[in-house]
């Protein structure tokens, strides 16, 4: 099944269960100051859950564009190093606004995964919330019972976990609740964790067991003081990671081996003259392909690289991608050219990137050009300093050097940290912050003269 067919089959299935299909909201939230980027399908329905907006449909489904690079949900560090985290991804979701609840959400997810998409039942696991005393939320026995009643999942494949894994919240405040996740065991050959103490298991931190779908039972609102308040009605908010589903259904080991990514990787290969391979170059291919998607969709939806807030997040992403371009020996702007293959893959589902293609390319190219002027010299300086540190058998890259890279060469701190980490070093962040503060004071004195 092609990725476009899979997306459609999700929507068709939910339509058959009485859901109204809506378009994805933009990745730049329209009226939610608590978020820099849309980080989940439920964001656009937050006010409905809180009872602050009227509903026109009790059941809704969509494929939502999400970006997870800041705040509570941030997958940036994993991107490229593993094969199943992304800064930008699509989330297939269905919602019930005070209508159906756990029983139907569980039964339909199981039906779609096992009857329609034919995933092997014996490889699937369901997790439920074990409860939390501090929040005064009980164990979710109701969900566990529905798994037993509505499905033929192996009873010993229903597992309970704590707040970190099975209580979902979009941010520090807002609608939230216990959740039940569906994971798949892809087999021991997928384990990518080389810690000798590692044991493959659900939520165990390797690519063997991966989460496919999260069914959230929205029952509370968390306020600014951290207190939970039960909502007047109970809702369902589900989210399935589309790229992972495509990988599992297309029987690919990596999300990047699916038809969502291969045209982009092929174009990177054409432009760089290098094959997509293992090792650092493979990481660079994946990071560039991933970051291209986040940048393009964010720019299409109105964000623009800059020095603050949302704009700085985009600038950081672009600078990371540009630096990984150097790993592939690309010294001229080239990321903007990849819009061509991205539009091929995603243009039908998201026409905004077709309509704004020229504009997106111009913005990316301008950023690549401006960072390109200082990037090579910055890398040289970083290499010298890192060599000095390693030669003196130290493990910390000095904060004042990280500051110079930031201030003079435009290296965001997280880029220097990433480069340091590749050499087994950490960056003295406190020292970096001290230099930043000194600079702030210098510039405010200069302004007050």
Residue 89 sits in the site that holds ligand SER (CB under 6 A): no
- What minimum distance in Å lies between the beta carbon of 98 and ligand SER? 17
Pairing verdict, β 124-129 and 158-161: parallel
- Residue pair 353/342 in contact by the 8 Å Cβ criterion: yes
Pairing verdict, β 59-67 and 20-21: parallel
Query: Is residue 60 packed enough to be buried (19+ CB in 10 Å), middle (13-18) or exposed (0-12)?
Result: buried
Angle between helix 262-272 and helix 279-300 axes, rounded to 10 deg: 110
- What minimum distance in Å lies between the beta carbon of 346 and ligand SER? 20
Per-residue contact track with ligand SER, 247 to 286, x per CB under 6 A? Answer: ----------------------------------------
- What minimum distance in Å lies between the beta carbon of 192 and ligand SER? 22
Which of 45, 97, 125, 168 contacts ligand SER by CB under 6 A?
168
Backbone φ and ψ of 168, nearest 5°:
-100, 135
Query: Nearest CA to 246 among 257, 230, 238?
Result: 257
How many angstroms separate the CA atoms of 411 and 326, rounded? 14
Residue 10 or residue 168: which is nearer to ligand SER going by CB?
168
Residue 171 or residue 205: which is nearer to ligand SER going by CB?
171
Which of 158, 216, 318, 338 contacts ligand SER by CB under 6 A?
216
Per-residue contact track with ligand SER, 49 to 88, x per CB under 6 A? Answer: ----------------------------------------
- What minimum distance in Å lies between the beta carbon of 202 and ligand SER? 16
Identify the bridge partners of residue 74 per DSSP, sorted by sequence position: 69
Residue 93 or residue 333: which is nearer to ligand SER going by CB?
93
Backbone φ and ψ of 219, nearest 5°:
-125, -10
CB atoms within 10 A of CB 120: 10
Binding to ligand SER, residues 26-45 (CB under 6 A): 40-42
Q: Which residues bind ligand SER (CB under 6 A)?
A: 40-42, 93, 168, 214, 216, 237-239
């Amino acid at each position: 099944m092609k990725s476009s067919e899979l997306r459609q089959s999700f929507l068709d299935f939910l339509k058959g269960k009485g859901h109204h299909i809506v378009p994805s909201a933009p990745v730049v939230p329209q009226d939610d100051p608590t978020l820099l980027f849309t980080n989940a399908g439920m964001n656009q329905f937050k006010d409905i859950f809180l009872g602050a907006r009227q509903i026109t449909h009790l059941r809704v489904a969509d494929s939502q564009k999400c970006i997870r690079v800041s705040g509570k949900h941030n997958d940036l560090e994993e991107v490229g190093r593993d094969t199943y985290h992304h800064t930008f991804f699509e989330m297939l979701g269905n919602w019930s606004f005070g209508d159906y609840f756990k029983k139907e959400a569980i039964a339909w997810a199981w039906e779609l995964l096992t009857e329609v998409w034919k995933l092997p039942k014996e490889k699937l696991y369901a997790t439920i919330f074990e409860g939390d005393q501090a929040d005064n939320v009980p164990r979710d026995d109701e969900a566990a019972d529905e798994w037993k009643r509505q499905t033929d999942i192996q009873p010993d494949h229903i597992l309970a976990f704590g707040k970190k894994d099975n209580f979902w919240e979009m941010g520090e405040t807002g609608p939230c609740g216990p959740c039940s996740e569906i994971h798949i065991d892809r087999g021991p050959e997928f384990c990518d964790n080389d810690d000798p103490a590692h044991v493959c298991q659900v939520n165990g931190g390797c690519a063997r067991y991966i989460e496919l779908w999260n069914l959230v039972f929205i029952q509370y609102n968390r306020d600014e003081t951290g207190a939970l308040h039960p909502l007047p009605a109970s809702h369902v908010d589900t989210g399935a990671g589309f790229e992972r589903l495509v990988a599992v259904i297309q029987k690919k080991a990596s999300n990047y081996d699916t038809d969502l990514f291969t045209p982009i990787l092929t174009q990177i290969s054409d432009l760089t003259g290098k094959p997509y391979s293992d090792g650092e170059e493979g990481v660079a291919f994946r990071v560039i392909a991933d970051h291209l998607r986040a940048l393009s969709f964010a720019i299409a939806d109105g964000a623009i690289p800059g020095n603050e807030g949302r704009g700085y997040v985009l600038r950081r992403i672009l600078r990371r991608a540009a630096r990984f371009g150097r790993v592939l020996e690309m010294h001229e702007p080239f990321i903007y050219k990849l819009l061509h293959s991205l539009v091929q893959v995603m243009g039908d589902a998201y026409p905004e990137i077709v309509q704004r293609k020229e504009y997106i390319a111009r913005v990316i190219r301008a950023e690549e050009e401006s960072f390109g002027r200082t990037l090579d010299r910055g890398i040289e300086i970083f290499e010298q300093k890192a060599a000095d540190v390693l030669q003196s058998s130290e493990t910390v890259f000095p904060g004042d050097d990280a500051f110079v890279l930031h201030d003079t060469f435009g290296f965001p701190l997280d880029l220097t940290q990433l480069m340091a980490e590749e050499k087994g070093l950490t960056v003295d962040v406190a020292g970096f912050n001290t230099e930043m503060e000194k600079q702030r004071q210098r510039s405010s004195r200069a302004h007050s003269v």
